[in-house]
Amino acid sequence: MNLPQVAMPSPPGQQRHHEAATQLSGRWLLMARGAWVSLVLLTLLSFVVLLPSYFAQLQSVCISPTCALVQPTSESVRAMQQLGLSAMTGWRCWSRSLR
């Protein structure tokens, strides 16, 4: 037989202490905000710095057995050409879709 379990209420002083411990204020809040802003800026900076190399990989055909994930192989280039597309056509379509 399964009986429903009833949560026991905690004393009011203990509940307030727990809620106060989850909020930051003063110096700790400033440090947390600074860390958050730093991580966002670092992420955006790495995105901007790595973007040109990403585009270079998209425009060069991989001829080695191990290729980068986004780098086209000779088979994928042949398949795009059979469809009447080029690497730059695909890039233009993708960049226009972002606008």
Give the chain's domain count: 1
86 forms beta bridges with: none
N-terminal to C-terminal alpha carbon distance within the chain? 62
Does a structural domain hold residue 57? yes
Query: b/e string for 38-47 if b means 16 or more Cβ within 10 A?
Result: eeeeeeeeee
Residues 8-39: pLDDT tens digits? 666 665 555 556 567 888 899 999 999 999 99
Does a structural domain hold residue 19? no
Residues 56-90: pLDDT tens digits? 877 778 888 787 777 788 887 788 788 887 766 66
Does a structural domain hold residue 5? no
pTM here is: 0.51
- Residue 39: give the domain boundaries: 25-62+70-97
Does a structural domain hold residue 35? yes
